[in-house]
Structure 1
């Protein structure tokens, strides 16, 4: 489908409009039905009205309905479902209804161009036939790759790979720390002295720290590994024991820090959900590579030069000279 038709920006706008309009429309109250008038009194001798036939059950929606026609050619819902998979990832996971109007316009435009191309005998063009064959091979490759991945990268194997990976991940040490960041060394020294006199660390962090994000939390930085922080800060923090505070200000590119250690621990291993996607991609590459290696080993493959000529045979390596025979021992003298 040509990217010159209906730019993707239209899809984005329609998605945004659907996201905004949908809830608003859903919340609009329906107009109440007018109150029914009481029926007029009928004479007692009047015959009862005939019963109305039971309403027919509502027709079940078609599994693949026609959602448009273009010069009589039907467009089915399944075509939009396939087209949605060619959109960027953030749109593939959306409900089809959210992108339906814009996507339908793209399909309609595509049908119009295809119809015009057939009318003008584009399908007879040799270049078209070559490109069509190339695209067909690409689709076949994609299907084959996805089938191999689905066959070899199962949930059970993925979980097994995760358990194996955990064994190779070293348990890193983490610290839970607080800090107060100020601009000058004198300010940091004054804070250290005040904390030693009994003023609460978290109180001073809220009042004095120029790191407003952590300052609002009493200087709390949470748990972190040594590699998560700049070297000067990390070295000072990891030298402290639980409950200790730096005796002197710690200088970094951000200013001067006063650091206090709340706790220490071995970092917990990453959760399955954190590694699953990375492991899936890793196993998918391995599965496809292994299958390709097997196919190559079974195939007869000849490669030629860019002009189609046969390449010159590689020069033979010179034979390794044979080792000289061992020297004979001298004859014994009588």
Structure 2
């Protein structure tokens, strides 16, 4: 007969092993354990912060998925020819996409294509870019009052923080950073390019957003980023073009068929 101490030891060991098993699993559905690693991956792929609420939502998704799989098995639907054909089509579709993605990553975008695209992009970096600040208000009268305040010695940046209606630039003293004239509304650009470094517009500038007071901080010739700085972005841009994808997929299949023995 087992002694009481031995029985307690066995019970403790069983409880401990059960606790370890539960810790390793996210959930157990009708006796089928779903590993915690699956839950971790699902949370990571969601792109949301890892917290209890997100984990509960991900766990529910895993439970729903497992219940459907189990129900499909009970009903025998997986044995239906139409279902098996659709599953195979889905499997092949995933493999086609994965093979093409790997091909593009390793040999799809050539150095020549990257450099040609870069040279084309460089031509867009012509002319000047301007470092400007602005104050945006709703009424012309308010804009004129601010211009008078600045002429009387008021600090442009402090006034922008206090009175500008532009939520993006107001906290930074109205600073828009370096911009080119094509990236701004025409009325703003026309007034901006006429200013000298350090100059503030004498008159309010009307645009669809309201009334602007513009300050020119600096100007310089536009300079294209280096090839190495934008190489990764260029590769992504080229690879996302649908016409390029069609041509590259055809190229990939020609290479695969050329190596194949088809009888």
Change (3 A) 1:77 1:260: closer
CA contact under 8 A between 2:131 and 2:218: conserved in structure 1? Answer: yes
Q: CA-to-partner distance for each residue in 1:26-73, whole Å, 9 max, x for gaps?
A: xxxxxxxxxxxxxxxxxxxxxxxxxxxxxxxxxxx9xxx665554454
Tell me which protein shows more helix as a share of its residues.
2
Q: Which residue of 1 is the match for residue 34 of structure 2?
A: 75
CA contact under 8 A between 2:144 and 2:204: conserved in structure 1? Answer: yes
The one of 246, 250, 257 aligned to 1:293: 250
Q: Which residue of 1 is the match for residue 238 of structure 2?
A: 282
Which blocks of at least 5 consecutive residues in structure 1 are unaligned?
1-60, 300-334
Q: What displacement does 1:258 show?
A: 3.4
CA contact under 8 A between 1:158 and 1:276: conserved in structure 2? Answer: no
User: 2:245 and 2:158 mapped to 1: Cα distance?
Assistant: 58
TM-score normalized with structure 1 length: 0.51
TM-score normalized with structure 2 length: 0.62
User: 2:170 and 2:122 mapped to 1: Cα distance?
Assistant: 38
- Larger C-alpha radius of gyration, 1 or 2? 1
Q: What displacement does 1:235 show?
A: 0.3
The one of 135, 139, 142 aligned to 2:94: 139
Matched, 1:177 2:132: yes
User: 1:100 and 1:184 mapped to 2: Cα distance?
Assistant: 50
The one of 165, 187, 199 aligned to 1:211: 165
1:242 is paired with a residue of what secondary structure?
coil
User: 2:248 and 2:179 mapped to 1: Cα distance?
Assistant: 41
User: 2:161 and 2:240 mapped to 1: Cα distance?
Assistant: 52
The one of 79, 84, 88 aligned to 1:129: 84
Q: CA-to-partner distance for each residue in 1:112-152, whole Å, 9 max, x for gaps?
A: 33233223221232321221122122222222123213322
User: 1:190 and 1:71 mapped to 2: Cα distance?
Assistant: 74
Matched, 1:266 2:225: no
User: 1:263 and 1:190 mapped to 2: Cα distance?
Assistant: 25
Q: Which residue of 2 is the match for residue 327 of structure 1?
A: none
User: 1:211 and 1:144 mapped to 2: Cα distance?
Assistant: 51
Which blocks of at least 5 consecutive residues in structure 2 are unaligned?
1-19, 258-263
User: 1:191 and 1:66 mapped to 2: Cα distance?
Assistant: 65
CA contact under 8 A between 1:227 and 1:234: conserved in structure 2? Answer: yes
Change (3 A) 1:115 1:167: same
CA contact under 8 A between 1:176 and 1:264: conserved in structure 2? Answer: yes
Q: What displacement does 1:109 show?
A: 3.6
Aligned residues: 231
Q: CA-to-partner distance for each residue in 1:280-313, whole Å, 9 max, x for gaps?
A: 25236577433422337998xxxxxxxxxxxxxx
User: 1:186 and 1:116 mapped to 2: Cα distance?
Assistant: 71
User: 1:247 and 1:195 mapped to 2: Cα distance?
Assistant: 10
User: 2:51 and 2:99 mapped to 1: Cα distance?
Assistant: 26
2:201 is paired with a residue of what secondary structure?
coil
Q: What displacement does 1:224 show?
A: 2.0
User: 2:162 and 2:28 mapped to 1: Cα distance?
Assistant: 69
User: 2:117 and 2:53 mapped to 1: Cα distance?
Assistant: 36
Give the superposed CA RMSD. Answer: 4.5
